[in-house]
Chains A and B, each alone.
Chain A
Amino acid sequence: MSTLTGTRHLVRLILRRDRIVLPLWVLPLAVLPMTYATSFFELFPTAADRAAYAAGTARNPSIVALLGPVYGESVGALTAQRGGFLLVIIALATLLTAVRHTRTEEEAGRHELLAGGVLGRYAALTAALLVTYAASLLLGLLTAAGLVAAGLPTAGSLAYGLGVTLTGVVFATLGGLAAQLTESAGGARGIGIAALGLAFALRLAGDAGRHEWLSWLSPLGWAARVRPYEGERWWVLLLPPAATVALAAVAYPLSVRRDLGAGLLPPRLGPAGAGRALTGPFGLAWRLHRGQLLWWSVGFGLLGLILGGAAKAAGRSVEGNPQLEEILARMGGTTALSEAYLGATLSLAGLAAAGYAVQAALRMRSEEAAGRAEPLLATGTHRSAWLASHLVFALLGPVVVLAVTGFATGLTYGLSVRDVPGELPRLLAAGLAQVPAAWVLAGLAVLLYGLLPRLAPLVWAALAACVLLGQLGPVLRLDQWLLDLSPFTHTPQVLRPAWDATPLWALTVLAVVLAAVGLTGFRRRDLPIG
């Protein structure tokens, strides 16, 4: 039996299982760069406009730190930089996909079922990597095609697309390696995300400071250094395959040296009994949610610090470009562009916080489906209390995350304009104003979970629709009634001098009603999800 026997079948199994999930991240990530290019063409039609933008914004140290360097003033160069943060998301997506089809399967015991059959030793890892590589390739090609369609040169678009593909490939392989190290999928994800964070920090430090060599050490820095549209340096594209081979050369031997189900790092022992806090559903929910909440808060705090620091420069950069000012104003900001930028940033944070809320609410469903709700509900725990224990995190989690974001943004923005006492409370309030819209999504998740538990994951589609409406709606000039479907459309611009709190109350009431109906449904329905 060859070491790869059965790989083909596993590839088909993964494709079958991921037929929804793969397109769900590949397609939006492929479309976004094209929309960046289109809006740059629209916003900065002349070379002078672009030069002003490049000098004011694109070369601003905070922007460079967040997105990466800009190598020219063409629309292509600006688009390539603008897509810099997408690379992080792509890396995250491929990393998680690789872990999902290796360690998660092994932890769940599903892999054992297959490994007992006719299956080569390397088949599982190879199949997971092949599928993720293929998805990355598809993503890169679609991205390149979109950029060409937007009117950018073919060579540069291909260079950018390949950069995207190879970034995905490196981090998929990293995920495959992380999966060999721990027994738990959660641990493998943690290691992978920590490595991704390190890569991001290296690139950030290298691009922001005077030590560019740091960025050369980071796989996240390579795609930009191909310099798409600005005299492509094709040889840089040799770096990611070399890194991939190196990572795989560690992952493959590890995958056969360890036992099935075991990790390389030994599992640690824990307490022999429950502490005083672990007495009921709320104590348990705290244990299940606290790690996520902590990491979200830390991540958003850091992002807030960076974005707040960049706001002043972002405001100055577009002064004298009436078209951009008009568009930004239409996007819901004020004519004070720093504040428009901050408003846009915080509404993005609001969407992300809604993502936290949705995953916290759907935790109930995964607990139920895994059979972990049943023994709890067979004790003296009321169904409502169990649901409430998770709902607390879906509701208060966004408050914490957005308060941290608003606080951090306000702190660095306040420092940059030398008015911390004035700006900090304003931005904290502007961050918290995003909460009710996020609650509506949490309420929708509870509603679906209570009434139609099988369909509950569809709430992710609702969130995706809100993201698309919010980000593309104003650019595409969609009808207002369509935009109004998204709760985020109704969040008032707190940074404007006069704003109305009524929508916040309305959204809160809506969220409460949705959750209450969901709770009623949950109390009446059969358990567990059959």
Chain B
Amino acid sequence: METPIEVSGLVKTFGRVRALDGLDLTVRPGEVHGFLGPNGSGKSTTIRVLLGLLRADAGAVRLLGGDPWRDAVALHRRLAYVPGDVTLWPNLTGGEVIDLLGRMRGGLDPQRRAELLHDFELDPRKKGRAYSKGNRQKVGLVAALASDVELLILDEPTSGLDPLMEEVFQRWVGRAKRDGRTVLLSSHILAEVEALCDRVTIIRGGRAVESGTLTELRHLHRTAIDAEITGAVDGLGQLPGVHDLRVDGQRVRFDVDTAALDVALRHLTELGVRSLVSQPPTLEELFLRHYEGAAGAGSPAEVTR
């Protein structure tokens, strides 16, 4: 089976601004791929290149085995896209827009359309101008999720949805995955990413800084250790991979690279451990590190706390 999305070395400039600067992104068949990054990092630009709306300046982009610019129309029949800010025609009802978009993609499943409307509690008879932000997003989501497509490209699709609807959304993405669809999900909502995504790619400044499963990403990062020891603190600070060592009497706290965890723990037990709390990096820490302006792109040595 072909790789749904394969991007390497993608460059896109707008005037003097380099929006994408050698981006790599691979989405495998049947996976839900989280696409994360701070505002302005180039997520929407990447998606627009994938949709053939923007022309790449350099790099290789393959979408469903085709060229997203040249084969745009043929490829679009096999995917559905939901923008982060769905705008509707003020004089068309939500139901009309759902059907229109569905038909323009090559038809949608009426059964699933009805189920989605029910689950999302969306009244399709309202005119576009009467919908709130969240309800406009639902119109886009129903149109996309009711389509029989191989690939769903969702650009912050749940902005404006309440927590209940967020849950409905997650259930339907799970169902799409079970049906064998591939999903590219750009999101800021970490719980959503953690619940749905098989793999994630984090981008910053138009470049992918990390990519992999959440477990792999955790491995690249440090575990926080908080221990009480019986002996004297000795040599701990000189161990490779140990950072930010703070000693407060018998209590030691430090961060350790996941790769060096084993060595550090051995050393600790030699010193005599009375209590030990180890905390793996939370997703939040993992992402915040990349979102923070001062943090360096990708090199663990520059972590700031």
Contacts and interface: CB of A to CB of B under 8 A. Distances in A.
Contacts of A379: 76-77, 101, 104-105
B104 A376 contact: yes
Nearest to A279: B103
Contact of B81 (A274, A288, A378): A378
A530 interface: yes
A271 interface: yes
Given A378-B76, A379-B101, A107 B96 contact: no
Given A278-B99, A280-B103, A379-B105, A526 B55 contact: yes
A148 B131 CA distance: 54
Interface stretch (A2-10, A346-354, A367-375): A367-375
B85 A371 contact: yes
A380 B104 contact: yes
Contacts of B97: 274
A236 to B, nearest CB: 41
Interface stretch (B21-29, B119-127, B201-209, B295-303): B119-127
Given A272-B124, A274-B99, A274-B100, A370 B87 contact: yes
Which residue, of A107, A272, A528, has the highest number of chain B Cβ atoms within 10 A? A272
Contact of A183 (B123, B125, B129, B153): B129
A371 B155 CA distance: 14
A375 B83 contact: yes
Interface in B148-176: 153
A272 B142 CA distance: 13
Given A267-B127, A274-B99, A375-B83, A527 B48 contact: yes
Given A375-B140, A378-B81, A527-B54, A272 B100 contact: no
Interface string B125-154: 111011000000000100000000000010
A374 B129 contact: no
Which residue, of B48, B76, B104, B127, has the highest number of chain A Cβ atoms within 10 A? B104
B96 A278 contact: yes
Interface residues of B, number: 44
Contacts of A528: 53
B245 interface: no
A284 B123 CA distance: 21
Contacts of A183: 129-130
B150 to A, nearest CB: 13
Interface string A370-413: 11101111111111000000000000000000000000000000
A278 B95 CA distance: 11
B89 A288 contact: yes
B127 A270 contact: yes
Contacts of B237: none
Contacts of B130: 183, 267
A497 interface: no
Interface in B51-89: 51, 53-55, 72-74, 76-77, 79, 81-83, 85-89
Contacts of B93: 269-272
B124 A287 contact: no
B96 A273 contact: yes
B77 A107 contact: no
A103 B31 CA distance: 46
Given A271-B96, A274-B95, A526-B54, A380 B124 contact: no
A371 B128 CA distance: 14
Contact of B73 (A184, A380, A526): A380
A274 B103 contact: yes
Tell me the interface secondary structure of chain B in the complex.
mixed
B180 interface: no
B106 interface: yes
A473 interface: no
A278 B85 CA distance: 23
A283 interface: yes
Interface in A271-307: 271-275, 278-281, 283-284, 287-288
A268 B51 CA distance: 35
Given A273-B95, A379-B104, A184 B53 contact: no
Contacts of B76: 377-381
Contact of B129 (A107, A278, A377): A107
Interface residues of A, number: 39
A378 B99 CA distance: 15
B113 to A, nearest CB: 9
A120 interface: no
B175 to A, nearest CB: 22
A474 interface: no
Nearest to A291: B91
A374 B99 CA distance: 17
B132 to A, nearest CB: 10
A124 B86 CA distance: 27
A287 B91 contact: yes
Interface string A35-77: 0000000000000000000000000000000000000000000
B68 to A, nearest CB: 10
A186 interface: yes
Nearest to B12: A526
Given A267-B130, A382-B73, A527 B53 contact: yes
B100 A283 contact: yes
A524 B89 CA distance: 26
A374 B103 contact: no
B263 interface: no
Contact of A287 (B85, B92, B126, B127): B92
A519 B105 CA distance: 23
Contacts of A271: 93, 95-96, 125
Nearest to A284: B100
A380 B105 contact: yes
Contacts of A269: 93, 123, 125-127
A371 B89 CA distance: 10
A377 B103 CA distance: 13
Nearest to A528: B53
A383 B53 CA distance: 10
B96 A274 contact: yes
A169 B91 CA distance: 30
Nearest to B99: A274
Contact of A372 (B87, B91, B124): B87
B90 interface: yes
Which residue, of A183, A268, A375, A524, has the highest number of chain B Cβ atoms within 10 A? A375
B83 A371 contact: yes
Interface string A333-375: 0000000000000000000000000000000000000111011
**Across the A-B interface, the 6 shortest Cβ-Cβ residue pairs:** A274-B99, A270-B93, A379-B104, A378-B81, A269-B125, A380-B77
Given A278-B96, A526-B55, 7 more contacts: A107-B90, A269-B123, A270-B96, A274-B100, A374-B83, A378-B81, A381-B76
29 contacts: A107-B129, A184-B129, A267-B126, A268-B127, A270-B93, A271-B96, A272-B124, A273-B99, A274-B96, A278-B99, A280-B103, A288-B89, A370-B87, A371-B85, A372-B87, A375-B86, A376-B104, A377-B51, A377-B72, A377-B76, A378-B51, A378-B76, A380-B74, A380-B76, A381-B104, A382-B72, A383-B72, A526-B55, A530-B14
